[in-house]
A and B are shown apart, each in its own frame.
Chain A
């Protein structure tokens, strides 16, 4: 056991062997999270110092070290992991009442905590400057921790006492040592082991040894540690802080309100007449600032999509090995940033699609060679911005979707009429149907036909759109178009009677005023509109919502062409008022599930407008006609 620890004491393992260990994003997360744990640990240890039998505190400390151990193991930080492991061992004994928590035990744990926070600072320095972290010998510390545990006890008392006298010196020495935690740490470890191991000692630590504070050394470790805390925390706080996402959401919400209020002032009719130049200048200045504030607020929630892509790369490796296929994953646009909520929601659908691509889309190497393709298949994951949206592309160069097969399956399952003719897009959209799978056999990975259905649901929830393009024998491409954020949408404000509604722009294909002869009725009830040679069902919004419209004839009104699941339809409204960015508000739990209404938004005049959910509207129409 000791030899094992010795081997892995120095360095951060083998970074080249594990790509995760060298990922700055992950390391940063680790540092942040570990710091949080260490703060908790310290607090709980102080509680334990007062009340050694405090079970909850022991558990809390144990959990903290356990998590750190796990994360460190993941990142190949062996030195950290080993120390955490040792502490965990004695805490486990304490948990099972095999060890009483004495102040020696607490000192040892605190020493480990300091050791770990030193490591974190080293790691942080490495991330910033790129220099390799200084290896810090942990043998002495591990010996100390083992010393306090019952069993092969190796004179724990004297060592621990040294640690106690050491701690009080810190507050004095820290400024001299330029708050160098490295120095503090070295001193700590060195003091603990009683000068047995002359380790990488720096001048500062020597100074500390010369300045013991006898008055304080009598008091329990609590006081000096509290004094020490402030010198450690600011460094961690300054660079990034954790904020409750609810607070952030509220801020973004309020900024949205500010943008709207600002535009209300700017477009006030009273101001429009006889606008003085100075006022005009100030107003534009205000507009610029508001814009900047909005952008900053939004950017606080943005994270790069790269993390998500990385998870898929692991998945591709595992899957391709399992299915003995040769797959190269190509990533592009990892730095594209999008709203944190979206990234989280996107994880599942992305996994599904990558899984589908590798499992169904891509042929085995032999098959590929037989078709004259390179044995190495390619899966491309690409993210990028396009006109205020995020576009995510998942392509493979596999066998592609077979229209004939899709249609046959759909007819077998009775999803479409036997003699129905579908366009290519409609045929591809069949794969999003719940329970639809073209896989001949069900593997443990996929093929149950739930995947793509879930994908589409997720994407719809994110107010995005998904398209499929495929060429038989050459591959399949999925295109996901997602909004940058969930808080604000671009909408068309339309009027019906005296009500105003907001139509999300992503759902709108086109708008038109139809000619009188473009409208036809079926059985005198169902209305259709001829748009670009296609007959589309017509939905009168006023009928659906029970509002008195201004115009009764479709040719006086405005038709909004929208698409739902590959099927287009027209929504009839009175007129278009304008285009506006609106902040989406929930209508509250009492009105959550109203079909056709996605939420509310405060319009320019302070009134509430309902945001339409076109899918829901179209869905209720189908239900109504079926009934």
Chain B
């Protein structure tokens, strides 16, 4: 407990930093370029291969369009483009992770395109560190923290914040 409180201190500048205890749990990790990211398993609905996506006009470039998820039409976001990484051809390993996030009114499903899905990890609270302060001007509101597993750093994403509908709709009229 004491250790965790100490860890939480550097993040005091970030008012919305979630409690360390809440960050422990199961995470789905995936690759994007050379980096490994992780999102909480609880919000993952399903993982599927890339299928044909219907483009929707007048949406930001990272919104690739909509797909048919068993009769439901859901939007798909390319996380590479969202993070400003260069666009890449979709391969056999490219996946759409369907996540459920809290929208303005209802829960909504969004597909997220990632390079490849790796594994499901159980992270203890002690394994998670806060995002280092990059100084002013670098906004990290959707980073939950970092986890160092076997010498590799995994970036924990707050998918709700990342895809919050304000963020999506704000750019799509």
- Which residues of the partner chain B approach A591 to less than 8 Å between Cβ atoms? 56, 59, 63, 66, 75, 169, 172
Closest Cβ of chain A to B133, distance in Å, is 31
Q: Which residue of A lies closest to B55 (CB)?
A: A499
Cβ 8 A contact of B172, one of A544, A594, A606: A594
Tell me the A541-600 residues at the B interface (CB within 8 Å). 544-547, 585-597, 599-600
Contact call A257/B66, Cβ cutoff below 8 A:
no
Interface 1/0 per residue, B53-71 and A, CB below 8 Å: 0111111000101111001
Closest Cβ of chain A to B54, distance in Å, is 4
Is B121 close to A, CB under 8 A? no
Is A253 close to B, CB under 8 A? yes
Contact call A594/B173, Cβ cutoff below 8 A:
yes
Q: Beyond A585-B73, A586-B73, A589-B105, is A608–B57 a contact (Cβ under 8 Å)?
A: no
Contact call A590/B168, Cβ cutoff below 8 A:
yes
Closest Cβ of chain A to B96, distance in Å, is 13
Q: Name which of A544, A587, A589, A591 has the most chain B CB atoms within 10 A of its CB.
A: A591
Closest Cβ of chain B to A208, distance in Å, is 53
Contact call B57/A596, Cβ cutoff below 8 A:
yes
Interface 1/0 per residue, B90-124 and A, CB below 8 Å: 00000000000001111011100000000000000
Interface 1/0 per residue, A355-383 and B, CB below 8 Å: 00000000000000000000000000000
Tell me the B36-89 residues at the A interface (CB within 8 Å). 52, 54-59, 63, 65-68, 71-75
Interface 1/0 per residue, A323-338 and B, CB below 8 Å: 0000000000000000
Cβ 8 A contact of A597, one of B56, B63, B109, B110: B56
Is the contact region of chain B dominated by helix, strand, or loop, or is it mixed? mixed
CA–CA, A600 to B104, complex, Å?
21
Is A519 close to B, CB under 8 A? no
- Which residues of the partner chain B approach A596 to less than 8 Å between Cβ atoms? 57-58
Is A473 close to B, CB under 8 A? no
Is B131 close to A, CB under 8 A? no
CA–CA, A585 to B67, complex, Å?
12
Contact call B67/A608, Cβ cutoff below 8 A:
yes
Interface 1/0 per residue, A468-489 and B, CB below 8 Å: 0000000000000000000000
Closest Cβ of chain A to B160, distance in Å, is 13
Q: Beyond A499-B55, A545-B57, A609-B54, is A590–B72 a contact (Cβ under 8 Å)?
A: no
Contact call B56/A594, Cβ cutoff below 8 A:
yes
Q: Beyond A588-B108, A590-B110, is A610–B173 a contact (Cβ under 8 Å)?
A: no
- Which residues of the partner chain B approach A586 to less than 8 Å between Cβ atoms? 73
CA–CA, A588 to B67, complex, Å?
12
Is B165 close to A, CB under 8 A? yes
Is A26 close to B, CB under 8 A? no
CA–CA, A589 to B58, complex, Å?
15
Contact call A590/B75, Cβ cutoff below 8 A:
yes
- Which residues of the partner chain A approach B108 to less than 8 Å between Cβ atoms? 588-590
Is A602 close to B, CB under 8 A? yes
Contact call A595/B73, Cβ cutoff below 8 A:
no
Closest Cβ of chain B to A624, distance in Å, is 12
Closest Cβ of chain A to B122, distance in Å, is 31
CA–CA, A473 to B158, complex, Å?
68
- Which residues of the partner chain A approach B55 to less than 8 Å between Cβ atoms? 499, 545, 547
Q: Beyond A257-B71, A585-B72, A590-B75, is A595–B58 a contact (Cβ under 8 Å)?
A: yes
Contact call B73/A608, Cβ cutoff below 8 A:
yes
Q: Beyond A589-B103, A589-B105, is A594–B58 a contact (Cβ under 8 Å)?
A: yes
Q: Total A-B pairs in contact (CB under 8 Å)?
A: 83
Is A607 close to B, CB under 8 A? yes
Closest Cβ of chain A to B35, distance in Å, is 25
- Which residues of the partner chain A approach B74 to less than 8 Å between Cβ atoms? 588
Is A227 close to B, CB under 8 A? no
Contact call A588/B73, Cβ cutoff below 8 A:
yes
Q: Name which of A595, A600, A606 has the most chain B CB atoms within 10 A of its CB.
A: A600
Contact call B169/A608, Cβ cutoff below 8 A:
no
Contact call B73/A587, Cβ cutoff below 8 A:
yes
Contact call B68/A608, Cβ cutoff below 8 A:
yes
Q: Which residue of A lies closest to B108 (CB)?
A: A588
Cβ 8 A contact of A587, one of B66, B71, B103, B105: B66
Is A237 close to B, CB under 8 A? no
CA–CA, A585 to B168, complex, Å?
19
Closest Cβ of chain A to B30, distance in Å, is 22
- Which residues of the partner chain B approach A253 to less than 8 Å between Cβ atoms? 71
Contact call B68/A606, Cβ cutoff below 8 A:
yes
Closest Cβ of chain A to B171, distance in Å, is 10
Interface 1/0 per residue, A192-217 and B, CB below 8 Å: 00000000000000000000000000
CA–CA, A546 to B61, complex, Å?
12
Closest Cβ of chain B to A500, distance in Å, is 8
CA–CA, A499 to B160, complex, Å?
31
Is A289 close to B, CB under 8 A? no
Is A254 close to B, CB under 8 A? yes
CA–CA, A608 to B72, complex, Å?
9
Contact call A594/B59, Cβ cutoff below 8 A:
yes
Contact call B71/A602, Cβ cutoff below 8 A:
yes
- Which residues of the partner chain A approach B173 to less than 8 Å between Cβ atoms? 593-595
- Which residues of the partner chain A approach B104 to less than 8 Å between Cβ atoms? 589
Contact call B71/A600, Cβ cutoff below 8 A:
no
CA–CA, A545 to B172, complex, Å?
14
Closest Cβ of chain B to A542, distance in Å, is 10
Cβ 8 A contact of A546, one of B54, B57, B66, B106: B57
CA–CA, A253 to B54, complex, Å?
21
Closest Cβ of chain A to B164, distance in Å, is 10
Binding site for B on A (CB under 8 A): 253-254, 257, 499, 544-547, 585-597, 599-600, 602, 606-610
Task: Show 18 A/B contacts (Cβ-Cβ < 8 Å), sorted by A.
Answer: A545-B55, A545-B58, A586-B73, A588-B75, A588-B108, A588-B109, A591-B59, A591-B75, A593-B173, A594-B172, A594-B173, A599-B73, A600-B54, A602-B68, A606-B68, A607-B54, A608-B67, A610-B66
Given A585-B73, A602-B73, A607-B68, 18 other A-B contacts at CB below 8 A? Answer: A254-B71, A499-B55, A544-B57, A588-B75, A589-B106, A589-B165, A589-B169, A590-B103, A590-B169, A590-B172, A592-B169, A593-B173, A594-B58, A594-B59, A595-B173, A597-B56, A607-B52, A607-B54
5 shortest interchain CB distances as A-B pairs: A545-B57, A600-B73, A608-B54, A590-B168, A585-B73
